[in-house]
Amino acid sequence: MAKTYIAYISLYYIPQGGERMTQQAGKSKFSVQFIAAVIVALIVGVAIGFAASGFFAGPQQGQPQQPAGGQPSASKKVIQIGFTLPLTGSLSSIGKIWEKVAQMAIEDLNKEVQAYGFNVEFKAVILDDGTSVDKAVSNVQTLAQQGIKVVIGPAASSQVKAVKSFADSNQIVIISPSSTAPTLAIPNDFIFRTVGSDAGQAKVLAALAFQEGARKVIVFHRNDEYGNAFADFFAKAFTQFGGKVVDMPYQPDLSDYAADVNSLASKVQTEQADAVVLISFDTDGGNILSHAAESSILSSVRWFLSEGPHGAAELKTPAVGAFAAKVKLLGTRPLFVANPLYEEFKQKLKEKYGVDATVFCDTLYDAVQLAGWAILRAGSNDGNAIRNALVEVAKHYYGVSGWTIFDSAGDKAYQDYGVWAIVKTGAGYDFKDVGFYQNGQIIFTEKPYP
């Protein structure tokens, strides 16, 4: 590393003569080529260095590890689990929390497996993919090249799709905790998802909206794969109930959505809608709600949200909180209701890292647990064996996200959904789960809004 930087820096200080010079001097040309050669040599050297260090320090399945730094756990077999998470880029605010969840999950997993007498230690290899497709692919490749067979992530469906081809042909098991695109429900591949598909949640959201009395709703959704697919499913379910749906996409990744919210308000007025269904992520959702709070039209209709904005700090502000109370804002999210494990997990995360569990933290945690046990069950570092083991392990596992059984397409088969609201607490406003979905209807455990 350091070497490469030094090489770069030394480059800037090459004498300026070269610029003025014409083609007379073969000498200078030579020196440039020489420098280029040196750089290439350095890079290759560094590469070989890494390769060599990997050779000495990397995980060698089936062989006891040489101690690196004389740790007491020297005799333990180290097994690496790869992660590619959005630590930078548009999903970075939840990615940062996921990073901590991943660390915690690995720690817990180690404790658990060692308690069972396995002499192994799992190690997280966390890479950032910046929510970019190219980086997700190169991360998965890099992880695979280190001998890692199970990779958790990437977050976005577009990324999962791009790594699918490499994963399938190289037998790398991919477990995404948050990809929900219906087009990825492909049987017999190496892609697993520990989260229920949007189709399920859209149905719950539709049931919620209908049960709450909405008959004509405007679906205001991100114009990306997540938003469009969710909106489609919602529309299908809601029309089945007998309601009417007006579709209204907005372009994500803008700096502000005031103009879009304004269009929404006029749409609500012209269509005489009685509710708005917002399908968004956290940042855009917070932005939209804080603008909506200023509009009298939008304050007079009901609001129903997807799981995206759940947990976002922007929604805890007084303005949005008051707005939520006014419009009786309710949202759905994948959740195993009254799951004591989840409550414990939430608390532990808060104590240990000081962060609140957001959306998909539970699915990520369970993805890690499943991966670990599947590797142990497979007993070898063979992708195919791990895949088969994963399916089996998941059948007998109940984690913070509930039952983890996979369906034939490798997606979570049984997903419960909870209803959340923003309620006033002593310190301000906070998220609260106030109900759940059962047998086609929403059952409220408490009344969030007076």
Query: Which residues in the 212-251 window bind other proteins by CB under 8 A?
Result: 223-225, 227-229, 248-251
Kindly state whether residue 147 participates in binding other proteins, applying the rule CB under 8 A: yes
**CA–CA gap between residue 305 and residue 72 (Å, rounded):** 50
C-beta of 289 vs 442, nearer to other proteins: 289
Q: How far is the CB of 50 from other proteins (least distance, A)?
A: 5
Q: How far is the CB of 396 from other proteins (least distance, A)?
A: 28
- In terms of Cβ atoms closer than 10 Å to its own Cβ (0-12, 13-18, 19+), residue 89 is middle
Among 105, 288, 376, 422, binds other proteins (CB under 8 A): 288
Which 170-189 residues touch other proteins, going by CB under 8 A?
Answer: 170-171, 181-183, 185-187
Which 358-387 residues touch other proteins, going by CB under 8 A?
Answer: none
Task: Decide: 142 and 172 in contact? Cβ < 8 Å.
Answer: no
Q: How far is the CB of 441 from other proteins (least distance, A)?
A: 29
**CA–CA gap between residue 297 and residue 426 (Å, rounded):** 29
Residue span 322-361 as binding mask against other proteins, x where in contact by CB under 8 A, dash where not: --------------------------------x-------
Which 56-95 residues touch other proteins, going by CB under 8 A?
Answer: 58, 60, 87-88, 90, 92-93
Q: Could you tell me how many residues of this chain bind other proteins (CB under 8 A)?
A: 119
Candidate segments 142-150, 327-335, 364-372, 385-393, binder of other proteins by CB under 8 A: 142-150
| Sheet with 330-334, edge to edge strand ranges | 244-250, 216-222, 275-279, 302-305, 330-334, 417-424, 429-438, 441-444
Among 254, 379, 414, 446, binds other proteins (CB under 8 A): 254
Task: Decide: 123 and 80 in contact? Cβ < 8 Å.
Answer: yes
- Closest listed residue to residue 245, CA positions, set 235, 257, 253: 235
- Closest listed residue to residue 103, CA positions, set 88, 119, 81: 81
Q: How far is the CB of 303 from other proteins (least distance, A)?
A: 14
CB count in 10 Å sphere of residue 115: 8
Which 94-133 residues touch other proteins, going by CB under 8 A?
Answer: 96, 99-100, 103, 124-128, 130, 132-133
Kindly state whether residue 272 participates in binding other proteins, applying the rule CB under 8 A: no
Kindly state whether residue 36 participates in binding other proteins, applying the rule CB under 8 A: yes
Among 101, 113, 150, 260, binds other proteins (CB under 8 A): 260
Kindly state whether residue 134 participates in binding other proteins, applying the rule CB under 8 A: yes
Among 198, 282, 307, 416, binds other proteins (CB under 8 A): 282
Task: Decide: 192 and 388 in contact? Cβ < 8 Å.
Answer: no
The H or E element spanning position 301 is none
3-state secondary structure of 117: coil
Which 400-419 residues touch other proteins, going by CB under 8 A?
Answer: none
C-beta of 248 vs 419, nearer to other proteins: 248
Kindly state whether residue 290 participates in binding other proteins, applying the rule CB under 8 A: yes
C-beta of 126 vs 419, nearer to other proteins: 126
- DSSP codes of every residue in 4-15: HHHHHHHHHTS-
- In terms of Cβ atoms closer than 10 Å to its own Cβ (0-12, 13-18, 19+), residue 408 is exposed
Candidate segments 143-151, 204-212, 411-419, 433-441, binder of other proteins by CB under 8 A: 143-151
Q: How far is the CB of 181 from other proteins (least distance, A)?
A: 7
Task: Decide: 431 and 333 in contact? Cβ < 8 Å.
Answer: no
Candidate segments 204-212, 283-291, 300-308, 371-379, binder of other proteins by CB under 8 A: 283-291
Phi-psi region of 69 (alpha: psi -120 to 50; beta: other; left: phi over 0): left
C-beta of 185 vs 341, nearer to other proteins: 185
CB count in 10 Å sphere of residue 169: 9
Phi-psi region of 414 (alpha: psi -120 to 50; beta: other; left: phi over 0): beta
